[in-house]
Amino acid sequence: MEKLLKKSNVRKRLCSIYKGYAGTFFLISITIVSNIIICFCQPLVRTFLFDKGIICGNWKVILFSSGIMIFFFFFDGINNYLQLYCSFKIRNVTNYRMVSAGLKKIMRLNTNKINEKGALTFVENLRADANTISGIADKNIIVLISNLFGIIGGVIGLFALNWKLTLLSLFIMSFKIIHTSYFAHLQKKMFRKHIQIRAQMTSFANNISLNIRNIKLWNLYPKIHKKLRFISRSEINILFKLQLTNESQITINNGIDLLLNISIYIVGTLFYLDGKITVGELMAFLSSIGLISVPIALVSYLKNEFAKIAPSLERLDSLMALEDEYTCETKKEKLSFVPSVISFSDVSFSNNKKKILSGISFSINKGERIAIWGRNGAGKSTLINLLLRLSTPTSGKICFDNFSVEEFDIDSYRNIFSYVSQDQIFFDETVEENLFLSHKEDLEKMIDFIPNSLMFDKDFFQKQMVANGSNFSGGERQKIALLRATTKRGHILILDEATANYDQQSVVEYDQYISDISSAYDYVFLITHNIGELQLVDKVIVLDQGRLQEIVTPAEFMSKYEKHNEREDLFL
Strand partners, 464: 430
Could you list the mean pLDDT of each consecutive 10-residue stretch along the chain, which spans 572 residues?
A: 46 69 75 76 79 82 87 83 79 84 83 75 84 72 62 73 84 81 80 82 76 72 84 87 83 85 86 83 76 66 69 84 67 83 94 87 92 86 90 91 89 86 77 73 60 66 78 76 76 79 65 70 85 84 90 86 52 45
Distances (CA, A) of 40 to 75, 367, 408: 14, 84, 65
Q: Whole-angstrom Cα distance, residue 179 to residue 152?
A: 21
Q: Whole-angstrom Cα distance, residue 143 to residue 138?
A: 9
Strand partners, 523: 492
Q: Which residues, at least 6 apart from 558, have a Cβ–Cβ distance to it below 8 Å? A: 531, 534
pLDDT at site 4? 36
pLDDT at site 366? 92
pLDDT digits (tens, 9 = 90+) for 37-91: 777 777 778 778 877 888 888 888 888 888 888 888 888 888 878 877 877 877 8
Distances (CA, A) of 414 to 103, 336, 338, 344, 543: 20, 12, 12, 17, 24
pLDDT digits (tens, 9 = 90+) for 297-327: 666 566 666 767 778 888 888 888 887 776 5
CA 65 to chain CA centroid, nearest Å: 53
Torsion of CA 464, 470, 471, 477, to 10 degrees: 80
Average pLDDT for the chain: 78
Exposed, middle or buried by CB within 10 Å (0-12, 13-18, 19+), for 321? exposed
Contact predicate 454/483, CB 8 Å:
yes
Residue 552's SS3 state is: strand
| Residues present in the chain in total | 572
pLDDT at site 525? 92
Q: Give me the amino acid identity at 449.
A: F
Sign of CA dihedral 215, 217, 221, 226: negative
395-400/341-351 β-pairing = antiparallel
CA nearest neighbour of 571 among 549, 539, 552, 538:
549
Q: Whole-angstrom Cα distance, residue 257 to residue 175?
A: 10
CA nearest neighbour of 36 among 137, 155, 142:
155
pLDDT at site 481? 78
Contact predicate 380/374, CB 8 Å:
yes
Strand partners, 374: 543
pLDDT at site 145? 63
pLDDT at site 5? 36
pLDDT at site 138? 66
